[in-house]
Amino acid sequence: MTGTPVTVPSAVIGEWWRGRTDVRDDILASVHVEALAEDVAKLAGIACSRLKDVEAKLTIDAYVMASAALRGDVVFTSDAEDLLRFQPFFPSVRVLSVSGR
């Protein structure tokens, strides 16, 4: 792997993986998969509890934001709108939109 390593919380794989393809295999091979730690899960749960009408799918987004906040990372996503809902709880995380294509 070259360049800046990309870390992905393991829970994200379950949301994204819809069966094996060469593209998915290549993407998965290019990132570091981080086990979901208890402190990250708790922090994400607290953030979810403070949002009104949070959907279950946003829990994964909360994991991403909490994980990034603890590492001081930037989040790259094709779905910035949902992740930005957590910005008040994780103000140090920069969320950058990328094309989903």
What residues make up the domain containing 64? 7-97
Indicate if the pLDDT at residue 33 is higher than 60.
yes
Angstrom CA distances, 99 to 38, 40, 77, 88, 96, stand at 31, 27, 8, 24, 10
1 lies in some domain: no
Domain membership of residue 17 (yes or no) is yes
- pTM of the predicted model over 0.85: no
- Of all residues in the chain, the percent with pLDDT exceeding 90 is 55
Number of domains forming the structure of the chain: 1
**Residue 63's pLDDT is what?**
94
pLDDT grade for 1, boundaries at 50, 70 and 90 = very low
- Residue 27 belongs to some domain of the structure: yes
The CA distance from 43 to 52, in Å, is 16
Specify if 45 maps to a domain: yes
